[in-house]
Structure 1
Amino acid sequence: MPGPDPGDIPDPRVIELYKMAVEMADRISARRGTANAFFLTVQTTLISVVGLSTPTLKQAPWWITLAVCLAGVTLSASWWLQLRSYRDLNGAKFRVINSIEENLPVKIFSQEWEYLKADPVPSWRKRYAELGAVERAVPTVFAMIYILLLLGRLFR
């Protein structure tokens, strides 16, 4: 099915809705960045406290280490789930944006995504790596650190 005639003027109401959808998608991305900064700060602080208090933790009851590590793993899981939620929300927003673009003479976001998927990144990677996939690895790494800390404490 051919796209709209380039001479057609889109409905101003549709243009306003399009602008609003793009702005909302941008706000979701900004909130995700703020959430990432919060979780990274909390996780780094908690790991630092555990690392700096290692001699004290060696003398403390095992359940203190368990509680700290469970808190860290819980934070990691919450962070990961929140990132997934942001990805799902933005995915839905961009499906709406792309559907609006079908009736516009220019398809900025649809074409951008096509270019990213079609153009392989230089030799070390075959395709574009989405930020969401990369950033969801960070909470997983923190969870593994907490599990290793707990195992190290319990089996020393």
Structure 2
Amino acid sequence: MSHPTEGRDPATLDQYKLAAEMADRVSARRGNANTYFVSLQSALVAVLGFLTAGASAPDRWVLVAVCSAGLVTATTWYLLLRSYRDLNRAKYEVICRIEAQLPHQVFSDEWISLKRDPVKWWRPRYAELGTVERVVPLAFAGLNVALGYYIGWG
């Protein structure tokens, strides 16, 4: 009985392993970026709370500036997440092309299985992490706009 990788170029398997590892590293960096931006956004909201709770409130433009910094940060976070998504999409396209030369297509088959059902928000279904996680910076952006408006002109 022959081994499934017998007669195949060992460099192909090595490239596949490297590509999968690099895709995993991008995902880990994305997770670290999310942690950083959630911490930063939380700190900005805490600063607003601290500044407005004091006996003498600072100039409203200082508060609006903090909200503006939060909006810029949320926008940067959103754009960074889009960039990570595009980078990972390209990496997985390469992985899937390499898999075509291997006996099993683990990533390709997994993706086909996950995407089998159409998107219907009223019932459980796999939601891509990139889609779900991009809602968080948008929520913080909305919060910063609302706070800035309330503080500055409300």
Structure 2: 5+ residue runs without aligned partners?
none
Match of 1:89 among 87, 90, 105: 87
Paired position in structure 1 for 2:32: 34
State the number of aligned residues: 151
Does the 8 A contact of 1:116 with 1:128 survive in 2?
A: yes
Runs of 4+ in 1 over 4 A off after TM superposition: 119-123
Match of 1:151 among 136, 149, 152: 149
1:99 maps to 2:97:
yes
Map residues 7-156 of structure 1 onto 2, 5 A cutoff: 9-56=7-54, 59-119=57-117, 124-125=122-123, 127-156=125-154
TM superposition shift of 1:104: 1.0
In structure 2, distance between residues paired with 1:149 and 1:137: 18
Structure 1: 5+ residue runs without aligned partners?
1-5
In structure 1, distance between residues paired with 2:5 and 2:31: 39
| Distance change in 2, residues 1:108/1:58 (3 Å) | farther
Does the 8 A contact of 2:74 with 2:137 survive in 1?
A: yes
Range with bigger deviation, 58-67 or 102-111: 58-67
Give me the CA root mean square deviation: 2.2
> Which letter does structure 2 place at the counterpart of 1:28?
V
Range with bigger deviation, 140-149 or 50-59: 50-59
Could you tell me the TM-score, scaled by structure 1's length? Answer: 0.88
Q: Deviations over 1:37-60 (max 9, x none)?
A: 011111111111112321349732
SS at 1:59's partner residue?
Answer: coil
Could you tell me the TM-score, scaled by structure 2's length? Answer: 0.89
